[in-house]
Amino acid sequence: MTTKTNQWMRVRRVVIRLLTVYLPVSVLLLVVLLPYYWMLAMSLKPYPEMFNYDKFSPFWPSDPTLDHYKYLFQKTKFWIWFKNSGYVAAVTTAVSLTISTLAAYSLARLRFRGNVAISLGVFISYLVPGSLLFIPAVQIASWLGLVGRQTALLVFYPVGMIPFAIWVLMAYFQTIPPDLEECAMVDGATRLQALRRIVLPLALPGLITVGIYNFTSAWNEFLYSMVLVYEATERTLPVALTQQLAIGDHYYWGPLMAAAFLAGIPVVVLYSFVVDKYVSGLTGGAVKG
């Protein structure tokens, strides 16, 4: 009787776990990964298969082809656009992360007149939609002589990234006990040395979280790149693809799907390397008691 009861309890636990954990996770993965699978499948289909669902399956290619990838690499400037996006995203992420780290640390640790007002101003500026700022951004870029150049993105992308980064890092720095820095400064370290050797290593998950968010934002940004950059060879990937592979009512669906699939790879690789620290930065503080 006891053995049968134990077996029944084990089966019950397995069924409950399947229904409460594995089934919801499987459904979530299906919803999340379906767009990527769809892009890959469409990029491998010849054009007749894309639009004839009566004869061909919509979910997988019957006669896979690499023609769309060949067209993308041979007939377009895909690699130039890809490098432009990578360069702009990397530079703006580094700039915004450096400035926001110093600013967030100052607001979280130092006491000076206007500290609260500046913190509130940072929060309010983060709430302003970016779509409302592109017109004054174009005017400022015109005054600076940056309109039409990729340099404009290097100037204006960090402006949009820094308020969010400051707000997140402020909250993260506040979870680090100030006693650690004070002990270091008693031993002769300067404020910057304490920041570099004590605070930043502890705040690494928060820095990674902000860095990935900023990189992804710059990599996927569309509006400012479309408005501020004119030359096709200086455009980033999202804008260049829509302008070169979608002409009027004609869409090059094969190359578009191939480009969209390839454009998602860098972000996926970046997340895969630092996913543990990214989740830690989203869910917890630097020091937990």
Decide if pLDDT at 98 tops 90: yes
Decide if pLDDT at 65 tops 70: yes
Average pLDDT over every residue of 204-215: 87
Residue type at 109 in one-letter notation? R
pLDDT score recorded for residue 89: 93
Name the more confident of 39 and 247. Answer: 39
The encoded tokens of residue 211 equal: 């860095």
Name the more confident of 269 and 86. Answer: 86
Decide if pLDDT at 114 tops 90: no
Residue type at 99 in one-letter notation? I
The H or E element that residue 251 is part of is strand 250-251
pLDDT score recorded for residue 195: 84
pLDDT score recorded for residue 55: 80
**Residue 229 phi/psi, 5° resolution?**
-115, 130
This prediction's pTM: 0.81
pLDDT digits (tens, 9 = 90+) for 133-167: 778 888 888 888 888 888 889 998 998 889 888 98
Mean of per-residue pLDDT scores for the chain:
83
Reported confidence tier of residue 278, pLDDT bands at 50, 70, 90: low
- Find the length of the chain: 289
Asked if 152 and 236 touch (Cβ cutoff 8 Å), the reply is no
d(CA 49, CA 35) in angstroms, rounded, equals 18
Contact residues for 8 (Cβ-Cβ < 8 A; gap 6+): none
Widest CA span in the chain: 85
| Of the candidates 282, 272, 273, 269, the residue with the CA atom closest to the CA atom of residue 205 | 282
d(CA 13, CA 25) in angstroms, rounded, equals 17
Asked if 66 and 255 touch (Cβ cutoff 8 Å), the reply is no
Strand partners, 277: none
> 3-class SS at 275?
helix
> 3-class SS at 230?
coil
> 3-class SS at 140?
helix
